[in-house]
Chain A
Amino acid sequence: MNIENKKSRRKTWEHPWKYKESFLVVLELIFLGLIFEVLSGGKGAPLLKWPVNMGVGAGMVLLLFIIYYGFKSRPMVKWLSSVPAAISAISFFALVVLLLGFIPQDDANANRYLKLLGLTHMKNSWLMMVSGMYFLTSLGLVALRRATPIRRKNLGFLLNHAGLWITIAAGYLGAGDLMRLNLTVLEEHGGMSQAVNQRTQQSYTLPFSVKLIDFNIENYNPKIAILDGRTGSVVFEDGKFLQFIEQGLKATLMDWDVEVLEYEPATFMNEKGYYKTDSVGNAPAAYVKAINSISGEEKEGWISCGSFRVMYQHLALDNHNFLVMTFPEPEKYSSDIVIDDGEREPLSLTLEVNKPFKYKGWKLYQLSYDERMGKWSMVSVIEAVRDPWLPVVYFGIFLLLGGALYLFWIGREIKE
């Protein structure tokens, strides 16, 4: 405590700078960021594209090396690579992320002053840019300071600091080269190569075409539930999950003991009831029996969630409670596609959620389908993503993973 008091007699802005100066610098940077944003008319910082981003990245690295090796004994550089500067940079970044976390982003009806200050598009605002630059400068200099001379005991430190620097810098610089396109393909149509940019809504021609052979959905079984006619919503009992319908299922729903006597996953309905069919638009149906455990009252009949071809059917238990079948939810969906670049042999493959396919610098994802048509959807939406900076980001991420394991293993040991 005494040492602190003595130090505080140092005048503000007199070196060595500590917390006070660091946070004053941050305050200035906040103003700088807001002023830039207002001058840009609330349009945010420009996204850098190839090769400008590469140049900026190389420039940043070069500048850090020059500053460090040329001026490392200057008080200013010493301060930038000090912990108070680091903490002020972390706090500044955290403040920006906090605003991002609290203010609804990209809201069309946002307050125009918030918009002018960049607070409704934080992720590409000047404020984010300025805080990111301050963060990277401080982080970069710290990493360089520990990296020279390179020592084994600094390994964890380097993995964490250099890893974070590379991840953030590459993520930021690569944002302008990132392309995320939606490609809508239809069954019984030729190959499509016209896609739409998700961010700009502009059309883009892919260097290959994609043809949809078949779109498949595997559904979970529908579930059984009680619908309260007064509220129009399904009754959840103590947050218990609804049960899947299957032949012979016995379940207790509220006061009713329910048994599924018959279950058919694909049916049509006529005057006699539901019958099995493979035709388009079929719906699952179940014949159920419900016994009230208090009054002993018995009800039985067909229920079905229906489809665009089959009528919805419930079983009335009393005046306002109905036994219903929910719509089956997709368990997995996939597209059998053929990719053709006009040069090589066309490629047949299946795209599935969580299983993207890499092709000529693009990554293709199963994104969505025509949900109204469900398992008869003839449409599949495929996302095509190109992110040339990804390997650099991944390199940073893997350094960080190593750093995290190191941190776990070594813990606080180094300093004590």
Chain B
Amino acid sequence: MDWINFPAFAGITFLSWISGATLVNFSSKKKSLETAGTLLVIAGIAALTLFVVMLWINLERPPLRTLGETRLWYSLFLPFVGVITYFRWRYKWFLTYALALASLFLMINYLNPETYSKTLMPALQSPWFVPHVIVYIFSYALLAASSLVAVKGLYQLYYREINLKVLKLADNLVYIGFSFLTLGLLFGALWAKEAWGHYWTWDPKETWAFLTWLCYLGYMHFRHFQPKKVKAPLWALSVAFIVLLICWFGINYLPSAANSVHVYGD
């Protein structure tokens, strides 16, 4: 099994996901259609898992070295978490969102396979690498969605009638996103202890990740205390996302981040 077989597997996976997501979203409360949709999604995940396993055996090393290989794992984990969340919360939109994001990664791999390897510095070669990155990517995706919802809420607030459902949705996104953010932060700390000798060194990325975490923490407390207030939390969510963006890639441009271990690229 090799990257040559990728288009076939990706094709099967993509088709199962798109038909599965369609069935789940348009089942109009028909239980059997919804179950069939979920099964299709799981079948897609299974096909991709098979590909990853075979690739692993073929390469005689975990396929975690190249960027393309990492994207493969995103495409595998995102729907996995999507399905779990769906079983727990029945969020169709969430499953759809995870599948769409995963398909995007599949598409990038299909168009730009980069099967040749890219070097990975020794400190990054750790079992923590994948969970740390995947959990963060997932959390960022959720929090980005919560900010989109908040902007929609602000628009409603100023130009239309505010629908309080908007804030509920934002809250759910923030709660799940925040739990992943916490996991990412803690995985990072545990990894740092193994790789760099200490769990917390106020590396600029750590600093900004912690700041992001505090912003969402503040939001959650505010919502808990005054659930009737609308304007302030909506603004807070929009601002929190700016902090998150600085943390995500903005720190590459901050003077205080010149020596960060997280500044990638040349």
Contacts and interface: CB of A to CB of B under 8 A. Distances in A.
Interface of A: 83-84, 86-87, 90-91, 93-94, 97-98, 100-105, 123, 171, 178, 180, 220, 240-241, 243-244, 329-333, 352-356, 363, 365, 367, 383, 385, 387, 390, 393, 397, 400-401, 403-405, 407-409, 411-412, 415
B26 interface: no
B198 A385 contact: yes
Given A90-B221, A178-B198, A411 B183 contact: no
B208 A101 contact: yes
Contacts of A171: 199-200
Interface of B: 67, 88-89, 114, 116-123, 125-126, 168, 171-172, 175-176, 178-180, 182-183, 186, 189-190, 193-200, 202, 204, 207-208, 210-211, 214-215, 217-218, 221-222, 224-225, 227, 254-256, 258
Contacts of A415: 224, 227
A241 B112 CA distance: 11
Contacts of A367: 197
A403 B213 CA distance: 14
A100 B67 CA distance: 32
A405 B176 CA distance: 9
Contacts of B207: 97, 100-101
Contacts of A241: 67, 114, 116, 118
Nearest to A366: B122
A354 B119 contact: no
Nearest to A334: B122
A105 B207 CA distance: 12
A252 B117 CA distance: 16
A329 B222 CA distance: 49
B122 A353 contact: yes
Contacts of A104: 255-256, 258
A353 B204 CA distance: 22
Given A83-B225, A401-B183, A411-B89, A244 B116 contact: yes
A387 B200 CA distance: 12
B179 A408 contact: yes
A330 B254 contact: no
Contact of A93 (B117, B186, B214, B254): B214
Contact of B217 (A90, A101, A401): A90
A236 to B, nearest CB: 8
Contacts of A178: 198
A382 B113 CA distance: 38
A178 B197 CA distance: 11
B172 A353 contact: no
Contacts of B214: 90, 93-94, 97
A98 B202 contact: no
5 contacts: A105-B256, A171-B199, A178-B198, A241-B116, A365-B196
Contacts of B182: 400-401, 403-404, 407
Contacts of A353: 122-123, 125, 195
Nearest to B199: A393
Contact of B254 (A101, A243, A412): A101
A97 B211 contact: yes
A331 B208 CA distance: 29
Query: Which A-B residue pairs are the 9 nearest by beta carbons?
Result: A83-B225, A353-B122, A408-B179, A404-B182, A407-B179, A94-B214, A404-B179, A101-B207, A354-B126
